[in-house]
């Protein structure tokens, strides 16, 4: 492919992204998992306009997501199977999110963000991404499914890569529905866990035999006295000042010899530099945070009363970064 053709394909990438988002929203891969179907059958099952659905199917067939058989029916390919909602590593939740009008409009504000340094979502919508979703439960549900899509490959890798067995207790700060904490506790039966997030986020989470559930605001305070505080995909959502505030909350609460464990992508260590660099732009336009280099995490930690420890690879895009209490001089 020459440079012009390659650039054209990159420029037109948004078209593929939108088509995939529609396919995920309609559940086409879930339907085709049951076997090949005609456009008429798929249109009836999805409540869509058959001739127009055929146009979408043709386009997705052209990029290898589906294949058209000699009898006119469409079938699932290995690539298209990743858009099923019921498979490990499913991309369906993320595909749905990136096609939402609110998300697309935020990315359309990228140039303004580059010019001003300001968050695109807030400039475009007049409110933060957090407030926007809190007022729109359907948007929050789409976002939650997207985060589940992204987190699934990472959860077991984090539990395997880092030795949580040396702790007696761990708090998953901003832990959502508790999937990461559950994976860690399953691997380390002697460990107790605390799931901590906003009250509405944990309202329907049932405590377990070794798990307590606490609602609150991590800018104000987090549960006290535990050995380890896990911040997975939290700090990259926020500018530096807010990150330092979150870290200071953990510093005040933790046991004297405790540790904070930051699970994030790291720009200068990234196994997939393209993915991490564009994740950084996504942080700019959506929540208003950023991906960081390891030294930048070190600066945040110093400001919050920590010193930088190891950055433990997990075999995925993320690392487990140790934050150790700084020695007083």
Q: Residue 184 — very low, low, confident or very high, per pLDDT cuts 50/70/90? A: very high
What is the percent of the chain where pLDDT is above 70? 99
Residues annotated catalytic, as ranges: 236
328 has a pLDDT exceeding 70: no
Residue 258: predicted pLDDT: 94
Tell me how crowded residue 58 is: count the other CB atoms within 10 A of its CB: 13
Instruction: Give how far the C-alpha of residue 88 lies from the chain's centroid of Cα atoms, to the nearest Å.
Output: 15
Residue 226: helix, strand or coil by DSSP? coil
CA dihedral 141, 218, 124, 142 (to 10 degrees): -10
Beta carbons within 8 Å of 275's beta carbon, 6+ residues apart? 265, 317
Residue 112: name the closest of 310, 307, 285 by CA: 285
Please give the model's pTM, rounded to 2 decimal places: 0.92
Residue 149: predicted pLDDT: 84
Phi and psi at residue 285, in whole multiples of 5°?
Answer: -85, -25
329 has a pLDDT exceeding 80: no
Q: Give the pLDDT confidence of 82-135 residue by residue, as tens digits.
A: 999 999 889 999 999 999 999 999 999 999 999 999 999 999 999 999 999 999
245 has a pLDDT exceeding 60: yes
Burial of residue 295 (number of CB atoms within 10 Å: 0-12, 13-18, 19+): exposed
Residue 322: name the closest of 104, 163, 148 by CA: 163
Beta carbons within 8 Å of 25's beta carbon, 6+ residues apart? 96, 99
Give the long-range contacts of residues 15-19, CB within 8 A, separation 24 or more: 16/63, 17/95, 17/98, 17/99, 18/99, 19/56, 19/59, 19/60
Q: Domains in the chain, ordered, with CATH?
A: 3-87 (1.10.10.10), 152-267+285-325 (3.40.50.150)
Q: Residue 153 — very low, low, confident or very high, per pLDDT cuts 50/70/90? A: confident
């Amino acid at each position: 492919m020459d440079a012009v053709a390659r650039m054209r394909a990159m420029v037109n990438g948004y078209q593929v992204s939108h088509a995939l988002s529609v396919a995920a929203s309609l559940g086409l891969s879930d339907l085709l998992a049951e076997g090949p179907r005609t456009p008429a059958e798929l249109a009836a099952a999805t409540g869509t306009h058959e001739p127009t659905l055929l146009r979408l199917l043709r386009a997705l067939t052209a990029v290898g997501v589906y294949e058209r058989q000699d009898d006119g029916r469409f079938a699932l390919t290995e690539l298209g199977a990743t858009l099923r909602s019921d498979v490990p590593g499913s991309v369906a939740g993320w595909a749905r999110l990136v096609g939402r009008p609110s998300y697309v409009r935020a990315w359309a504000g990228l140039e303004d963000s580059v010019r001003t340094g300001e968050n695109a979502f807030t400039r475009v919508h007049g409110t933060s991404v957090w407030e926007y979703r809190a007022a729109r439960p359907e948007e929050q549900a789409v976002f939650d499914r997207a985060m589940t899509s992204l987190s699934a490959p990472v959860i077991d890798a984090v539990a395997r890569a880092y030795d949580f067995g040396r702790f007696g207790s761990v708090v998953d700060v901003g832990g959502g529905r508790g999937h990461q904490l559950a994976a860690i506790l399953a691997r380390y039966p002697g460990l107790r866990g605390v799931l901590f997030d906003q009250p509405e986020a944990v309202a329907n989470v049932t405590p377990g035999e070794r798990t307590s559930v606490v609602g609150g605001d991590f800018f104000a305070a987090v549960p006290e006295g535990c050995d380890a505080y896990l911040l997975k995909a939290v700090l990259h959502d926020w500018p530096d000042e807010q990150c330092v505030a979150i870290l200071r909350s953990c510093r005040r609460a933790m046991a004297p010899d405790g540790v904070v464990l930051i699970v994030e992508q790291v720009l200068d260590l990234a196994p997939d530099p393209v993915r991490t660099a564009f994740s950084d732009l996504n942080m700019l336009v959506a929540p208003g945070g950023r991906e960081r280099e390891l030294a930048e995490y070190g600066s945040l930690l110093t400001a919050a009363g920590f010193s930088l420890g190891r950055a433990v690879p997990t075999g995925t895009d993320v690392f487990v970064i140790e934050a150790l209490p700084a020695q007083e001089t």
